[in-house]
A and B are shown apart, each in its own frame.
Chain A
């Protein structure tokens, strides 16, 4: 029985180093081929005719003209007469043709008639919603008595609109049938192993007959776990046409139907004692993520206020269904909670840093982590030196301020299997049906394998993105790094056990006295007694040696529950409402870090995504048509590199963190930018801008409303 463990700090030669991603040069040079880049022989172009109405019943579909067009090889009605369409740009007819232009021409030749039905797409004002699925009220303690007794309390309404995932590589796939019931599919997916089964189910063929390949992938952020209707339809078109079909979404469809992070709005009341101790919380929140309603953000977030009442309602809307968006529900929970707590700190006349620290005892297991992180963040931001009460007194229109927020996430490693093959030439290969979304998964597996076998990185190869390799979980919820690194570590340790078994007699010691290091198998206590890697492999002859490893398994290689802190420094032009980020500090814990560089990159990426959503992103739904209006990168405003300011990342490592094992870090850094920036804007201007994104309209509207209120009370 092998005892699985992560090596102690002194025994790691790669783990925890700052290592550039292995596929960086291939990506930067264009040699890496994404699904969008591939073009198999005889490939046809698939396109989808989409419903322009947000809510309608299809009354007739006439594809006869399209079918007769030369070069059109397949036409398939996806949703026929009688079907009720519940969001704009839902799929109606698929076509495959010999060129992209011809496929589009065929779409224009199709006649579909609709009976247009009433739609509802803007849930910000709950009173206008035709239907509300009210959730159950949850009560802990005695919120009414506690609120009545609270010495200081605030009440506020806060909210954030839906945003789109907007993956740089749109959703889509290429399907190629290799027999009557066998198919290859190149997919832009976050779940190579899982999507094969989804194809099989949709097509009625054995899952084992579907071969899914995703060598490179252009982003998913939670929106690419499903094969989606267009995936199955792509396969059907390929079958009908007898040729491979590529069907990728265009940007308009990508933004409209392939990504939606639910909105969240809340009326919140929170109370504390005069000394800042939180005592009571009351929240009435609502949100939407399409016809099925929304998720349920954790409220209150992080701070488990002893007396609390929450009620969350889900509002069905006529927009495409919600998809998991990096840390599902947490950005919403954090924004609603941290905004209200910051307003309460202002009402208490307290520095929010002191206020947050004072209440850390109700944050649960991460109390100590937060305390350490807040100290580091304070040092990196110079919070205590620079913080001022609400409302920068500087002359002129530019006001500067600081804001902060805390967050948490799980991140335990998912189910994963790894097969390690030791080739006779000494190269070790890890195979997993996992996928690298651009996060560095490939690199992390290589580091674990090389570090475990005492080999340089050049002597290991990672093969992933293929459903024929051992199954590994979908990449979501920050579960991948813990899963694949644990499975790979166990496989490597199993492989070493096999080698040590053969090497021990040659070196005249017991197997457990051996270690693999510096390209040798050697006696731990006497490094002079060693075998070269080749000598050690000689007893196995020409047949490669394989071993497997799985997660979960014995040994604490992964765990869950991280804490993070972010602080933002912003300048607000109160005459134009333009918010500029000066600096954002992120201090993040994620257990044992395999690659410090890619871990930091994940945090940078999360911060940038969060800053973008905080400042400018919004999926704008037209009340008139129910269509999304922000259908390109011009109107769907994502932050550019000049907009994100100086980003400072500090990863918590060493004793207290490393021994927790490997924990994922994809989600946590995206949670706090919204609240920390919004709180900084409140600190700068003296006015709460309650709704994201913090664009000139939102900021000026809030300043104007505040001025009007002041006038009224004066």
Chain B
């Protein structure tokens, strides 16, 4: 790890000032569960770490007068998993938070960090850059891409967005509050993520000097919400494919609006718009859920070693939909 300066602001304003506008010089340190490892491996270097844990007002889940929840970005994943108000409104979110990594990591990792963590792509993590290009060619395409993208993978980005919570929060319509040199702005969480086209670009849309301060959740309003992860190991493992769904139902038990967001399959949390269209007006059963899974991967393109992820995404969608609707498939 290279030497760095540690700054501990007490307010959002101080944090933004200390952060400056050159991301290469200063970066935010919150829980540090990922950043410090990246720094030890020299994948990330920063002259200054702006340690925001002491910034006041950025923790906890707050119920808004107008309905909905306001969650501080510094709320730990462990606190999220145990929050009564969040669990009452969105039990799927507290459950998902409770399955992130292991207890030690959940205890320090923050909501903001979970949403903005860097990709786990092993080329990136071994120092070959976010796009892992060499001599103008993608190392991912020619190399070992078993965990890489099957959607949104026209290149040059092939990594997958790794957040456990992002697909679920997008599905329920979360917004984020960003605070920067120009003041505060609100953005749909879905619009925070982008697919970089050049090595210098980031995988999110934070402007230089901006800090993610809060996440806003609308009231659940009767929607059926669920997130299904395919994981090999029970603990301390990444999902291989995630499907997070939120379904609005009409009076007759038909789906009036569906949000289906896939995780771990694309460089951004992937909105399965074909599936969302397909589900409109349908009554959910096993057959509909299976077809919805097919629709989600209709445009998937496997790389040389990740064909199996198409099946995983397909089944994750099916299972998330059935679980959201409370339908138990025979034998499952």
Q: Which residues of A contact B (CB under 8 A)?
A: 101, 104-105, 252, 394-398, 575-578, 615-616, 620-625, 627, 629-635, 637, 639-640, 642-643, 695-697, 700-701, 704
Say if the beta carbon of B3 comes within 8 Å of chain A.
yes
**Given A396-B330, A615-B232, does the pair A696, B308 have CB atoms closer than 8 Å?**
yes
Say if the beta carbon of B230 comes within 8 Å of chain A.
yes
Q: Verify B142–A396 contact, CB threshold 8 A.
A: no
Q: Give complex CA distance A285, B176 in Å.
A: 57
Say if the beta carbon of B11 comes within 8 Å of chain A.
no
Say if the beta carbon of B17 comes within 8 Å of chain A.
no
**Given A576-B230, A642-B235, does the pair A697, B308 have CB atoms closer than 8 Å?**
yes
Q: Verify B139–A635 contact, CB threshold 8 A.
A: no
Which one, B122, B230, B232, B307, contacts A637 given CB within 8 A? B232
Q: Verify A396–B329 contact, CB threshold 8 A.
A: yes
Question: What are 12 sample pairs from A and B whose C-beta atoms fall under 8 A apart?
Answer: A105-B2, A575-B311, A577-B308, A616-B232, A622-B139, A632-B125, A635-B122, A640-B236, A642-B234, A696-B232, A696-B312, A697-B146
**Given A629-B122, A629-B144, does the pair A701, B231 have CB atoms closer than 8 Å?**
no
Q: Which of B227-270 contact A (CB under 8 A)?
A: 230-238, 240
Say if the beta carbon of B61 comes within 8 Å of chain A.
no
Q: Kindly list chain A residues whose C-beta atoms are within 8 Å of the C-beta of B230.
A: 576, 578, 696
Q: Verify B143–A622 contact, CB threshold 8 A.
A: yes
**Given A395-B330, A696-B308, does the pair A623, B142 have CB atoms closer than 8 Å?**
yes
Which one, A104, A577, A640, contacts B235 given CB within 8 A? A640
Say if the beta carbon of B66 comes within 8 Å of chain A.
no
Q: Verify A623–B331 contact, CB threshold 8 A.
A: no
Q: Kindly list chain A residues whose C-beta atoms are within 8 Å of the C-beta of B332.
A: 396-398
Q: Give complex CA distance A111, B329 in Å.
A: 61
Residue of B nearest to A627 (CB): B126
Which one, A395, A635, A640, contacts B234 given CB within 8 A? A640
**Given A575-B311, A616-B232, does the pair A101, B134 have CB atoms closer than 8 Å?**
no
Q: Kindly list chain B residues whose C-beta atoms are within 8 Å of the C-beta of A578.
A: 230-232
Q: Kindly list chain A residues whose C-beta atoms are within 8 Å of the C-beta of B1.
A: 101, 104
Q: Kindly list chain A residues whose C-beta atoms are within 8 Å of the C-beta of B306.
A: 697
Say if the beta carbon of B29 comes within 8 Å of chain A.
no
**Given A578-B232, A696-B230, does the pair A625, B139 have CB atoms closer than 8 Å?**
yes
Q: Kindly list chain A residues whose C-beta atoms are within 8 Å of the C-beta of B237.
A: 637
Q: Kindly list chain A residues whose C-beta atoms are within 8 Å of the C-beta of B146.
A: 697
In addition to A398-B331, A637-B237, 4 A-B residue pairs with Cβ atoms within 8 Å of each other are A105-B2, A622-B143, A700-B308, A700-B312
Measured CB to CB, the closest approach of chain B to A615, in angstroms, equals 7
Measured CB to CB, the closest approach of chain A to B264, in angstroms, equals 12
Q: Verify B139–A624 contact, CB threshold 8 A.
A: yes
Q: Kindly list chain B residues whose C-beta atoms are within 8 Å of the C-beta of A576.
A: 230, 311-312, 315
Say if the beta carbon of B224 comes within 8 Å of chain A.
no
Q: Which residues of B contact A (CB under 8 A)?
A: 1-3, 37, 41, 120, 122-123, 125-126, 128, 134, 139, 142-144, 146, 230-238, 240, 305-308, 311-312, 315, 329-332
Q: Give complex CA distance A394, B134 in Å.
A: 50
Output the residue of B1, B134, B234 with the most chain A CB within 10 A.
B234
Q: Verify B315–A639 contact, CB threshold 8 A.
A: no
Output the residue of A105, A624, A639 with the most chain B CB within 10 A.
A624
Measured CB to CB, the closest approach of chain B to A100, in angstroms, equals 9
Which one, B122, B128, B231, B331, contacts A396 given CB within 8 A? B331
Q: Give complex CA distance A104, B39 in Å.
A: 12
Q: Give complex CA distance A446, B124 in Å.
A: 51
The 9 residue pairs across chains A and B that have the minimum distance between CB atoms: A396-B331, A395-B331, A642-B234, A700-B308, A624-B143, A629-B122, A575-B315, A697-B308, A640-B235
Q: Verify A700–B311 contact, CB threshold 8 A.
A: yes
Q: Give complex CA distance A681, B235 in Å.
A: 22
Residue of A nearest to B40 (CB): A250
Measured CB to CB, the closest approach of chain A to B125, in angstroms, equals 7
Measured CB to CB, the closest approach of chain B to A632, in angstroms, equals 8
Measured CB to CB, the closest approach of chain A to B319, in angstroms, equals 8
Q: Give complex CA distance A163, B306 in Å.
A: 21
**Given A101-B1, A398-B332, A696-B308, does the pair A631, B142 have CB atoms closer than 8 Å?**
no
Residue of B nearest to A396 (CB): B331
Q: Verify B234–A101 contact, CB threshold 8 A.
A: no
Q: Verify B331–A631 contact, CB threshold 8 A.
A: no
Measured CB to CB, the closest approach of chain B to A252, in angstroms, equals 8
Residue of A nearest to B122 (CB): A629
Q: Kindly list chain A residues whose C-beta atoms are within 8 Å of the C-beta of B329.
A: 396
Q: Verify A101–B3 contact, CB threshold 8 A.
A: yes
Q: Give complex CA distance A576, B122 in Å.
A: 23
Q: Give complex CA distance A623, B123 in Å.
A: 12
Measured CB to CB, the closest approach of chain B to A580, in angstroms, equals 8
Residue of B nearest to A397 (CB): B332
Measured CB to CB, the closest approach of chain A to B331, in angstroms, equals 2
Q: Verify A701–B308 contact, CB threshold 8 A.
A: yes
Count the A-B residue pairs with Cβ separation under 8 angstroms: how many?
A: 100
Residue of A nearest to B41 (CB): A252
Measured CB to CB, the closest approach of chain B to A396, in angstroms, equals 2
Q: Kindly list chain A residues whose C-beta atoms are within 8 Å of the C-beta of B315.
A: 575-576
Q: Kindly list chain B residues whose C-beta atoms are within 8 Å of the C-beta of A627.
A: 126
**Given A629-B122, A635-B125, does the pair A397, B233 have CB atoms closer than 8 Å?**
no
Residue of B nearest to A620 (CB): B144
Residue of A nearest to B141 (CB): A624
Q: Give complex CA distance A620, B233 in Å.
A: 18
Q: Kindly list chain B residues whose C-beta atoms are within 8 Å of the C-beta of A104.
A: 1-2
Q: Verify A701–B331 contact, CB threshold 8 A.
A: no
Q: Kindly list chain A residues whose C-beta atoms are within 8 Å of the C-beta of B307.
A: 701, 704
Q: Verify A623–B143 contact, CB threshold 8 A.
A: yes
Q: Kindly list chain A residues whose C-beta atoms are within 8 Å of the C-beta of B240.
A: 696
**Given A622-B143, A625-B139, does the pair A695, B122 have CB atoms closer than 8 Å?**
no
Q: Kindly list chain B residues whose C-beta atoms are within 8 Å of the C-beta of A637.
A: 232-233, 237
Q: Kindly list chain A residues whose C-beta atoms are within 8 Å of the C-beta of B3.
A: 101, 105
Residue of A nearest to B228 (CB): A576
Q: Verify B233–A639 contact, CB threshold 8 A.
A: yes
Q: Kindly list chain B residues whose C-beta atoms are within 8 Å of the C-beta of A632.
A: 37, 125
Residue of A nearest to B230 (CB): A576
Measured CB to CB, the closest approach of chain A to B292, in angstroms, equals 15
Measured CB to CB, the closest approach of chain A to B294, in angstroms, equals 13
Q: Give complex CA distance A622, B142 in Å.
A: 9
Q: Give complex CA distance A632, B1 in Å.
A: 16
Q: Kindly list chain B residues whose C-beta atoms are within 8 Å of the C-beta of A616.
A: 232-233
Q: Kindly list chain B residues whose C-beta atoms are within 8 Å of the C-beta of A696.
A: 230, 232, 240, 308, 312
Q: Give complex CA distance A616, B41 in Å.
A: 24
Q: Verify A640–B233 contact, CB threshold 8 A.
A: yes
Q: Kindly list chain A residues whose C-beta atoms are within 8 Å of the C-beta of B125.
A: 631-632, 635
Residue of B nearest to A699 (CB): B308
Q: Kindly list chain A residues whose C-beta atoms are within 8 Å of the C-beta of B122.
A: 620, 629-631, 635
Residue of B nearest to A641 (CB): B235
Q: Give complex CA distance A627, B143 in Å.
A: 11
Q: Kindly list chain A residues whose C-beta atoms are within 8 Å of the C-beta of B305.
A: 697
Q: Verify A624–B142 contact, CB threshold 8 A.
A: yes
Q: Verify A623–B144 contact, CB threshold 8 A.
A: yes
Measured CB to CB, the closest approach of chain A to B120, in angstroms, equals 7
Q: Kindly list chain B residues whose C-beta atoms are within 8 Å of the C-beta of A700.
A: 308, 311-312
Q: Give complex CA distance A101, B233 in Å.
A: 35
Q: Give complex CA distance A630, B123 in Å.
A: 10
Measured CB to CB, the closest approach of chain B to A506, in angstroms, equals 63
Measured CB to CB, the closest approach of chain B to A346, in angstroms, equals 23
Measured CB to CB, the closest approach of chain B to A114, in angstroms, equals 15
Q: Kindly list chain B residues whose C-beta atoms are within 8 Å of the C-beta of A622.
A: 123, 139, 143-144
Output the residue of B142, B146, B308 with the most chain A CB within 10 A.
B308
Q: Give complex CA distance A630, B236 in Å.
A: 15
Measured CB to CB, the closest approach of chain A to B50, in angstroms, equals 20
Q: Verify A643–B234 contact, CB threshold 8 A.
A: yes
Measured CB to CB, the closest approach of chain B to A481, in angstroms, equals 32
Residue of B nearest to A100 (CB): B1
Residue of A nearest to B329 (CB): A396
Q: Give complex CA distance A394, B331 in Å.
A: 7
Q: Give complex CA distance A577, B306 in Å.
A: 13
